């Protein structure tokens, strides 16, 4: 990718103001809208200034491959992740260098397809419990679909992680996590963050949220040590040994990994299912094809692990949701060295942003870039596309460690719920979103549900 065939230049981009650069526009539009507008105006490579920080945006698949896959040592999780570290600590999501490598080796066996297979029945059972709740509703009763999906995915991750269903009593913890995500997102829009020891209302909320989560997670770890290891993710993590040193994770390491796995794990899958049901309600032709596959393959029975390969269209529907509304629309890195990409100069210490949300809408790589069109994921279409035109879980050595868990959960839950219910918008919703760590609906998506099978 680096080349000396042309003079080194800066990528195009908005001029900005003295000192502040483009920070006011960044704040006014919000993170996602800002980068999407930059892409539309300046193209697939652009530069901008956010206060003193130089930032570069990349969208094309070959850029994604160069930055995330081929050169992870040049593009690292440095200063851009410091604000996230303040909120959620030093887990696999935020670590860098040798510390990350050791932690990834420790955790990788826990999340292999083989090890997560044991949780498939648990996922289906959680969806069946949701079915039962929905079946007991009075006709026309309305629901917030995002809250429903958050509840069911919380049930799954809490049972998988701890062996206990916390979905009925998770509101305080979930609100605390959202407070951390809001704090982090707002911090990216600040030129200077006030230190946490300064008791602003914002800092106080963040510290209280962090402390609540810390106490909750340590109490669970303490209880597990007293009760002994079980068949759950926490026990797998607690029994993982470093192959070189023979050491186990410390309680602080366990805390940070549990925090990101427990909360972010359910949040991203809840987002995926929320937007899938929203899209099905807006696209009856897609919904009809999905129902046809589910009825033909499952014939009213709940899905099993063995059914997953027999549900290709169901998977295509989920992939298309991940294309348009993947939970993580932006990935940030720091340039650790001076570099050059296709004749463009990249300065050491700059923020590098790749934007799946834009790549997944690029008209060069997608037949119907703005439509909900699962046929984008037929084998023929996939083979025609560049490999890195689609990367909802990231790419390279830092690809999401929970990808297999999320894909299995999404498919089994969609298959179970969608064969039994149609979800219909009870209130008009244009699908507007907000970005706070993950993509969320800007306004609650209020729905009714209609039984399909009797």
pLDDT at site 322? 97
Largest Cα–Cα distance in the chain?
A: 69
**C-alpha distance across the termini of the chain, in Å:** 58
A 10 A CB-CB count for 251 gives 14
H, E, C per residue of the chain: CCCCCCCCECCCCCCCECCCECHHHHHHHCHHHHHHHHHHHHCCEEEEEECCEEEEEECCHHHHHHHHHHCCCCEECCHHHHHHHHHHCCCCCCCCHHHHHHHHHHHHHHHCHHHHHHHHHHHHHHHHHHHHHHHCCCCCCCEEHHHHHHHHHHHHHHHHHHCCCCHHHCHHHHHHHHHHHHHHHHHHCCCCCCCCCCCCHHHHHHHHHHHHHHHHHHHHHHHHHHHCCCCCHHHHHHHCECCCCCCECCHHHHHHHHHHHHHHHHHHHHHHHHHHHHHHHHCHHHHHHHHHHHHHHHCCCCCCHHHHHHCHHHHHHHHHHHHHHCCCCCEEEEECCCEEECCEEECCCCEEEECHHHHCCCCCCCCCCCCCCHHHHCHHHHHHCCHHHCCECECHHHCCCCHHHHHHHHHHHHHHHHCCEEEEECCCCCCCEEEECEEEECCCCEEEEEECCC
What pLDDT score does 171 carry? 65
Give me 37's structure tokens.
């507008």
Nearest to 154 by CA among 130, 136, 134: 130
For residue 342, is it left (φ>0), alpha (ψ between -120 and 50) or beta?
A: left
**Tokens coding 259:** 């925090």
pLDDT in tens, 311-355: 999 999 999 999 999 988 999 999 999 999 888 899 999 999 999
Neighbours of 241 (CB within 10 A): 11
**Cα distance between residue 80 and residue 259, in whole Å:** 20
Distances (CA, A) of 131 to 125, 149, 302, 416: 10, 12, 11, 8
Name the pTM for this structure.
0.88
The alpha carbon of 369 is separated from its chain's Cα centroid by a whole number of angstroms, namely 21
What is the model's pLDDT at position 3?
Answer: 44
Q: What is the pLDDT of residue 284?
A: 96
Is residue 349 within 8 A of residue 50, CB to CB? The reply is no
Write out pLDDT tens, residues 180-195.
Answer: 777 776 666 555 566 6
Low-confidence ranges of the chain (pLDDT < 50): 2-7
Q: Does residue 133 contact residue 201 with C-beta atoms inside 8 Å?
A: no
Predicted local confidence at residue 116, as pLDDT: 85
Q: State how far Cα 19 lies from the chain centre.
A: 33
Predicted pLDDT of residue 25: 92
Task: Write out the two tokens for 350.
Answer: 């700059």
Strand partners, 333: 352
Q: What does the angle CA 102 – CA 335 – CA 33 come to, to the nearest 5 degrees? A: 105
**Ramachandran category for residue 400: left, alpha or beta (phi over 0 → left; psi -120 to 50 → alpha):** beta
Enumerate residues 6+ apart whose C-beta is below 8 A from 243. 105
Q: Residue 7: what pLDDT? A: 46
102 token code pair: 């050791």
Per-residue burial over 366-387, b = 16 or more CB atoms within 10 Å of its CB, e = otherwise: beeeeebbbebbeeeeeeebee
Assess contact for 219 and 226: CB atoms under 8 A: no
């Amino acid at each position: 990718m680096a080349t000396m065939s042309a003079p080194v230049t800066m990528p195009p981009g908005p001029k900005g103001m003295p000192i502040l650069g483009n920070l006011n526009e960044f704040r006014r539009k919000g993170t996602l809208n800002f980068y999407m507008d930059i892409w539309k105006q300046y193209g697939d490579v652009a530069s901008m200034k956010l206060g003193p920080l130089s930032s570069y945006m990349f969208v094309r698949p070959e850029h994604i491959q160069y930055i995330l896959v081929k050169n992870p040592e040049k593009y690292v999780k440095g200063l851009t992740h410091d604000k996230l570290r303040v909120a959620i600590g030093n887990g696999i999501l935020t670590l860098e260098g040798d510390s990350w490598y050791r932690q990834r080796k420790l955790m990788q066996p826990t999340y292999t397809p083989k090890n997560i297979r044991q949780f498939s029945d648990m996922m289906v059972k959680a969806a069946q419990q949701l079915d039962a709740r929905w079946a007991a509703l009075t006709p026309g009763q309305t629901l917030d679909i995002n809250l429903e999906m958050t509840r069911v995915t919380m049930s799954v991750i809490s049972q998988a992680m701890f062996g206990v269903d916390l979905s009925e009593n998770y509101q305080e913890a979930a609100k605390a996590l959202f407070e951390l995500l809001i704090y982090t997102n707002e911090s990216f829009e600040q030129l200077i963050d006030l230190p946490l020891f300064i008791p602003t209302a914002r800092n106080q909320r963040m510290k209280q949220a962090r402390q609540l989560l810390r106490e909750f997670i340590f109490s669970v770890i303490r209880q597990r040590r007293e009760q002994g290891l079980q068949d759950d993710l926490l026990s797998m993590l607690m029994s993982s040994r470093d192959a070189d040193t023979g050491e186990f994770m410390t309680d602080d390491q366990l805390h940070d990994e549990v925090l990101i796995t427990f909360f972010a794990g359910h949040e991203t899958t809840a987002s995926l299912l929320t937007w899938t049901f929203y899209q099905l309600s807006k696209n009856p032709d897609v919904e009809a094809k999905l129902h046809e596959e589910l009825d033909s393959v499952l014939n009213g029975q709940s899905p099993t692990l063995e059914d997953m390969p027999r549900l290709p269209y169901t998977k295509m529907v989920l992939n298309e949701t991940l294309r348009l509304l993947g939970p993580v629309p932006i990935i940030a890195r720091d340039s650790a060295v001076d570099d050059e990409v296709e004749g463009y100069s990249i300065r050491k210490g700059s923020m590098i942003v790749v934007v799946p949300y834009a790549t997944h809408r690029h008209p060069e790589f997608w037949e119907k870039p703005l439509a909900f069109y699962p046929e984008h994921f037929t084998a023929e279409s996939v083979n025609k596309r560049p490999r890195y035109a689609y990367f909802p879980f990231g790419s390279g050595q830092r690809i999401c460690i929970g990808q297999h868990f999320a894909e299995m959960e999404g498919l089994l839950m969609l298959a179970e719920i969608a064969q039994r219910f149609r979800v219909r918008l009870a209130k008009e919703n244009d699908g507007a979103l907000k970005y706070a760590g993950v993509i969320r609906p800007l306004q609650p998506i209020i729905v009714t549900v209609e039984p399909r099978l009797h």
